Amino acid sequence: MLINPATGREIREVPSASEAETDAAIERAHEAFPAWRDLAPGERARLLRDFAAIVDAHNEELARLEVENSGHTIGNARWEAGNVRDVLNYYSAAPERLVGKQIPVPGGIDITFHEPLGVVGVIVPWNFPMPIAGWGFAPALAAGNTVVLKPAEITPLTAIRIGELALEAGIPPGVFTVVPGKGSVVGNRFVTHPHVHKVVFTGSTEVGRQIMAGCAEQVKHVTLELGGKSANIVFADADVAAAAAAAPGAVFDNAGQDCCARSRILVQRSAYDEFLGRLETAVKEWRVIDPADDASQMGPMVSAGQRDSVQRYVDGTTVAFQGPAPAGDGYWLPAMVTEVKDVVEPVWREEVFGPLVAVMAFADEDEAIALANDSDYGLSGSIYTRDLGRALRVSRGVQTGNLSVNSHSSVRYWTPFGGYKMSGLGRELGPDAPYAFTEEKNVFIAT
C-alpha cells in the first residue's frame, strides 16, 4: 500500500511482480529487441520524439502524481517531468549520430561499429523517480536496446504512467516495460537473468556492491550511481551573502534526499561568523509547507522509516538552529544546521539523506581540499570564490565527479554525471551516454 508522505494516508495499492512475471517481461523485451535494433535510425528517433511530446502533454498529471506519491514540491515535480521530456528529446538525436570510426591501418581499411547490448535493466530509487528513470531508459532506447525498468517499491506511480505513455506514443510493446516490485525479486532477476545484458542502478552503496558482485557472475555490464557526502566550500573572498543564500537549496532541496546534497559546508574561518549568521536567516525563512502549494520549498520525508533514520542523526548532534515545519500527520522534519568540530562525527562522515547540514571552519586551500576529500564518497560539490585560479586549483584537487563554481548545479543532461570512489561506477548523461549501452565492434577489410 502506498502512502502520501505529506498526510500519512493511504493512497492506493500497486501489485508487486513475481519472479515469473519478471521473467516474462524480460522475455518480451528480449523478443522485441531485434525489431527495435533493426528499426531505421530516423524512425527510432521519431518515436523517441513522440514519446517526449506525450510526456510533455502530461506534465501536470505526472507532477501531481509525484507530489502525492513522493512528497516532492509541485515546482520540483514539474521540473522532473520536464526533465524526462528533455532527456528523451536530447537522445532522440542519437540514433542518427551513433557513429563509429575509420582507423588508418596498413593493408586495408578498418572501421568500427557501435551495436546495442540487448535488454537493459534499469533500477530506479525513490528520491527522484522520474528523472533518474529517464537518464537510464532514454539513452538505452536511443542506442537500440530494449528496457525493463523497476521503480522503487514506495514510489512507482510516475514510472507506471510513463510506461503507459510510451505505448500511447507508439513505442512497440516489449521495448519499454515497467515492472514494479521488490528489489529482492524484480531487481535481483535483472541481475541474474541471462537475457539482461546491462544493469543500471541508482541507490545505496551497500546494495550497489551486491549488484556489482551479481553482475560479475555473468560478466554483465553495470553502471552504478551510489551515495554522496558532498562539500560546499566557501572561501572568504567569495560573495558570502550569495553563498549563504544559496546554501539551503543545495542541501534541503527534496528534503535533503539527494545524493548530490551539499551536506557538508566548509567555510573559511575569517568568513565563518558572517556566513553562519546569514545562513541562519535563510534557513529560518525556508518554506517547509504542503508540497502541493506553489510556494513550497521543501516537503516531507518520503516515509516514516526515512524520517526516523534522519532523526537518529539529529539525536546524536546539537542543532544550532532550524527552520519551521508543519506539525501533525505526515513525515515532516524542519531544515536543520549543526556546527561540527571533529571529522569523526557521524553527521559529518555519513550520508544522512535528510534536511540536516553540518558546518565546519577551515584555514586555507590545502585544508579545504583535505577536508573535502576526507570521505568515502565523491559525487558532487561546490566552490564559492571570486578567484578563478583558486577555483581551478581546488576543482582539480577535490576528488569528485561533478563540481560547480559559484553555483550548486550538479546535473545537466548535456554533460556527464557520475562519481568517484564509493559514489559509483561509470557515467550517465552527456553526449556519450548512448555509447555506454553498446558494444564496439572492429572490422578489418583487406585490400
Per the CB < 8 A criterion, the answer to whether 428 and 90 are in contact is no
| Strand-strand pairing, 356-362 and 336-339 | parallel
Q: Classify each residue of 257-271 as buried b or exposed e, where b means 16 or more C-beta atoms within 10 Å of its C-beta.
A: bbbbbbbbbbbbeeb
Cα(185)–Cα(425) distance, integer angstroms: 23
Helix 157-168 crosses helix 129-142 at what angle (to 10 degrees)?
Answer: 40
Q: In what order do the strands lie in the sheet with 102-105?
A: 102-105, 108-116, 438-446
Cα(309)–Cα(353) distance, integer angstroms: 9
Cβ count within 10 A of residue 312:
11
| Strand-strand pairing, 420-421 and 102-105 | unpaired
Per the CB < 8 A criterion, the answer to whether 425 and 224 are in contact is yes
Cα(431)–Cα(186) distance, integer angstroms: 30
Compute CA distances 417 → 171, 224, 431, 433, whole Å: 27, 11, 11, 10
Q: Which three cell numbers stand for residue 254?
A: 527534496
Side-chain-side CA neighbours of 78 within 13 Å: the count stands at 8
Q: Indicate which residue of 66, 68, 80, 225 is catalytic.
A: 225
SS3 196: strand
Per the CB < 8 A criterion, the answer to whether 45 and 95 are in contact is yes
267 φ/ψ sector (left φ>0, alpha ψ -120 to 50, else beta): beta
The amino acid sitting at 189 is R
- Cell 544493469 locates to 199
The closest of 97, 8, 11, 91 to 51, measured between CA atoms, is 91
Whether 217 is catalytic: no
Tell me the helix, strand and coil percentages in the chain, rounded to 5.
45, 20, 35
- Cell 547540514 locates to 357
Residue 227 main-chain phi, psi, to 5 deg:
-80, 180
Q: Indicate which residue of 66, 215, 259, 260 is catalytic.
A: 259
Whether 440 is catalytic: no
Catalytic residues: 225, 259
